[in-house]
Each structure stands twice: as structure tokens, then as C-alpha cells.
């Protein structure tokens, strides 16, 4: 078996395992919060600066598009498909690990929230930074946010334009 085939198989297998782990962490936290906090008082942590607070969010971030669940489902599914397509084009070289991690975080978070929207018609949010009255969010939101920040850092500071040619559809020379 050629070395590239082994790297490609390892890349796919490790990607699936990482996705499954991230998705499982998101699901289990939402299930536990739903069991323990739904219809109960918030759990105050860190001197009332932070709370675990059950919330059913029928919109997107900061409640935008509230009640437009089907629009969010279609948009999120489309974005996930595009992200997976581009993710699969990332070379298996360790040089691109940061790009792989950022992409996997975004995909995992998007899938986690998509599942909630399809299954429940809302997303379970539960992390509340009370001291700054930040909107309630969840683990999947953390994945998307951290992944997006990491992606911006990668694109601005880590990779040269010439190293990102694999993302372009007309590029014949993939690494």
C-alpha cells in the first residue's frame, strides 16, 4: 500500500474519531443539562459570575432568526456539506493540522446544533456568563467560535496563499 494511501486512510479515520468524540461531548452535556436543569433553578458557579442555565433557543446566535428553524436547518446543512467538502481537500500532511482542527471544530459544532434543531425544533443552550450578561450558549457554540477564530488565525498568519491552493476547485496540483 503506497504511503499516501495509508496517510489518507489514517486522516479519514482520525477525522471520524475526532468528530465522534466532539459530537458526543456536545450531546452528553445537552442531555445532562436537559435532565438536571430543565424546569429547575440555574446552578450558580464562580461567585455568581457564571451559571448553568437551561434555555431552549429557537433562533441562531443572540436569538437572531428566532422561530425560523427550517431556514436555520437548511442553511446549516448546506454549510456543513460545504465544510466537509473543503475539509476532505486538506492535505494529510501534519503541516495542515491547525487547519484540520479548526475545520473539525466548526463542523462538529454545526452538526451538534443541527441535530437539536431537527430533533427538537430548538437548540439546548446552558452556559451563561452572568457577570457580562452574555447570551446563553452551549458546547457546540464553543466549538464553532474557537474553530472560526483558529481558522482566521490560520488564514491570516500561519499559511501562505500558495499553501491553500488545494481548496480551489480548478487546482490540479494538490499536496
Of the candidates 26, 125, 133, 161, the residue annotated as catalytic is 125
Structure letter (DSSP) for residue 158? I
Question: Does 175 fall in a domain?
Answer: no
Of the candidates 4, 5, 133, 141, the residue annotated as catalytic is 141
Q: What is the pTM of this model?
A: 0.88
Our answer to whether residue 116 is catalytic in this structure is no
Report how far residue 165's alpha carbon sits from residue 174's, in angstroms, rounded to the nearest whole number. 7
Domain range for residue 141? Answer: 3-167
Question: Does 173 fall in a domain?
Answer: no
Our answer to whether residue 125 is catalytic in this structure is yes
Number of domains in the chain: 1
pLDDT digits 0-9 by tens, 25-65 = 999 999 999 999 999 999 999 888 999 999 999 988 767 77
Question: Does 172 fall in a domain?
Answer: no
pLDDT digits 0-9 by tens, 137-146 = 999 999 999 9
Report how far residue 156's alpha carbon sits from residue 150's, in angstroms, rounded to the nearest whole number. 10
Amino acid at each position: 500500500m503506497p504511503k499516501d494511501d495509508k496517510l489518507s486512510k489514517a486522516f479519514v479515520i482520525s477525522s471520524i474519531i475526532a468528530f465522534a468524540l466532539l459530537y458526543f461531548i456536545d450531546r452528553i452535556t445537552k442531555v445532562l443539562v436537559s435532565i438536571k436543569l430543565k424546569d429547575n433553578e440555574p446552578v450558580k458557579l464562580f461567585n455568581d459570575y457564571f451559571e448553568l442555565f437551561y434555555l431552549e433557543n429557537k433562533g441562531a446566535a443572540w436569538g437572531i432568526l428566532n422561530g425560523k428553524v427550517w431556514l436555520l436547518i437548511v442553511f446549516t446543512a448546506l454549510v456543513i456539506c460545504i465544510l466537509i467538502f473543503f475539509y476532505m481537500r486538506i492535505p494529510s500532511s501534519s503541516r495542515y493540522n491547525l487547519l484540520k482542527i479548526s475545520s473539525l471544530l466548526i463542523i462538529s459544532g454545526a452538526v451538534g446544533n443541527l441535530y437539536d434543531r431537527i430533533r427538537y425544533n430548538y437548540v439546548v443552550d446552558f452556559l451563561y456568563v452572568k457577570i457580562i450578561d452574555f447570551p446563553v450558549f452551549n458546547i457546540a457554540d464553543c466549538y464553532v467560535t474557537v474553530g472560526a477564530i483558529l481558522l482566521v488565525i490560520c488564514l491570516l498568519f500561519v499559511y501562505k496563499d500558495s499553501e491553500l491552493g488545494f481548496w480551489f476547485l480548478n487546482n490540479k496540483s494538490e499536496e
